[in-house]
Amino acid sequence: MSTAYADLMKFFQTASSRGKPEFITPNRKIFEDQAVILRRFDEDRTGDPILIVPPQAGHHSSIADYAPNQSLVQTCLRQTTHPVYVIEWKSSTMSRREETIDDLVKQTMVCVKKAGSPVILAGLCQGGWLSAIYTALFPDDVRGLMLAAAPIDFTAGGGKIQDMVNALPLMYYQYLVGCGGGNMSGDLMLMGWKMMNAYDRFVRDYLNLWINVQDENYLKRTRKFSGWYEYTQDISGRWYLQAVEKLFKQNRLIKGTLEVLCEYVDLQNISCPLALLAGERDDITLVSQVHNLEHHASTPGDQIFKAVIPQAGHISVFMGRRALQHEWPSALAFIDEAAYAPGARITPADLEGMAISV
């Protein structure tokens, strides 16, 4: 076999590599229903759990436990003594296409209760705005709130998503949902992500692959990422359209006019310690869209940790080596110190524990 032919075979095999992503750290299922799986990644730890809430944006939840040295799960296990849980979101089915943001909050509530409240919520991207909504509605369930690349002030600073949302009418997004029979197709979402950086996704990635086709480590990393990135999941078309209209277009979360479970979400109800992590080069969720929560929550300034991760793009905020070696350990240490310092906020769960101990 000629070298040129062998290189072509490696190129096409790598470029077309697919497969269902998996969590890499040993774990066990704590709970499962038609919408979620709750996974626990330790056996015998006690105390308030860390509950990682991955995004539902067309991809698999294993991004929270992507690879050795690129695993938020392993960083939490290494840097803290807390039990660690992850919500694994399932692909939406036809029977679930009418689920709303209310249903997302209810699904999160089930996982919080199964893990054992109060929890430290770590919300990634879409999982971040969901975590902020949950914390505002049920503040006693949350000991600390960590948000990574999570839009809260959706219109702050502009950005590629805002440009697209403002340029296209709601009817366009309704049409996309119609194409999925009521669900928002993961394949269509993936195409949307790619089109926001079309040259990189359709040209540069393949040029780099060809240039490095004889580098086995490069090929292995590319196959690993493609296995996660190209594997898609559908989401409910109803909550997707709610998010487009009420969050991305109308910015109702910041304005206090987003109604969930029959009440308006008031971010001032958030008073627990906060860690807000953003990427310097994130063109999906801009720094101000994450950090502006500090101006709307009631958390004192000395209990808010903010970080801008140098050179980090969107997903690098929660799976990049730099972030997991530097900013996340600092954020986790900060939350522990702020949440458990003398005089820290006492939750009803703490009072129940005191009563039992007496």
Mean pLDDT of 328-353: 79
Q: Is pLDDT of 199 > 80?
A: yes
User: In this predicted model, what pLDDT tens digit does every residue of 3-60 receive, in sequence order?
Assistant: 888 888 988 888 888 888 999 999 999 999 999 999 999 989 999 999 999 999 999 9
Q: For residue 257, what are the contacts with CB-CB under 8 A and spacing of at least 6? A: 250, 264
For residues 83 and 115, the answer to whether their CB atoms sit within 8 Å is yes
Q: Is pLDDT of 354 > 50?
A: no
State the pLDDT at residue 210.
92
351: confidence class by pLDDT, cuts 50, 70, 90: very low
Verdict on whether the full-model pTM lies above 0.85: yes
Nearest to 111 by CA among 196, 39, 45: 39
State the pLDDT at residue 356.
44
For residues 48 and 82, the answer to whether their CB atoms sit within 8 Å is yes
User: In this predicted model, what pLDDT tens digit does every residue of 60-70 receive, in sequence order?
Assistant: 999 999 999 99
Residue 159: CATH number of its domain: 3.40.50.1820
CA distance 7 to 13: 10
Peptide bond into 118 cis (omega under 30): yes
Nearest to 291 by CA among 313, 309, 266, 315: 309
State the pLDDT at residue 58.
93
State the average pLDDT for the chain: 93
CA distance 102 to 113: 17
**Domain span including residue 259:** 3-357
State the pLDDT at residue 18.
83
State the pLDDT at residue 348.
58
Nearest to 150 by CA among 120, 122, 128, 121: 128
User: In this predicted model, what pLDDT tens digit does every residue of 216-229 receive, in sequence order?
Assistant: 999 999 999 999 99
State the pLDDT at residue 341.
79
Q: Is pLDDT of 346 > 70?
A: no
Interhelix angle 216-229/3-15, rounded to 10 degrees, is: 30
Most confident of 118-127, 163-172, 185-194: 118-127
Mean pLDDT of 236-261: 97
User: In this predicted model, what pLDDT tens digit does every residue of 140-173 receive, in sequence order?
Assistant: 999 999 999 999 999 998 888 888 888 999 999 9
Q: Is pLDDT of 82 > 80?
A: yes
Nearest to 125 by CA among 323, 278, 296: 278
Indicate the residue type of 301: G
State the pLDDT at residue 119.
98
196: confidence class by pLDDT, cuts 50, 70, 90: confident
Mean pLDDT of 306-326: 96
Mean pLDDT of 286-293: 97
Mean pLDDT of 130-145: 98
The separation between CA 194 and the C-alpha centre of its own chain, rounded to angstroms, equals 18
Q: Annotate 314-351 with b (16+ C-beta within 10 A) or e (fewer).
A: bbbbbbbeebbeebbbebbebbbebbeeeebbebebee
CA distance 146 to 273: 8
State the pLDDT at residue 56.
95
Q: Which two tokens mark 145?
A: 């709130």
Q: Is pLDDT of 2 > 70?
A: no
State the pLDDT at residue 357.
40
* Percentage above 90 pLDDT, the chain: 82
3-class state of residue 294 by DSSP: helix
State the pLDDT at residue 7.
85
322 vs 358, more confident:
322
Domains in the chain, number: 1
CA distance 269 to 95: 34
CA distance 135 to 145: 8
Mean pLDDT of 237-250: 97
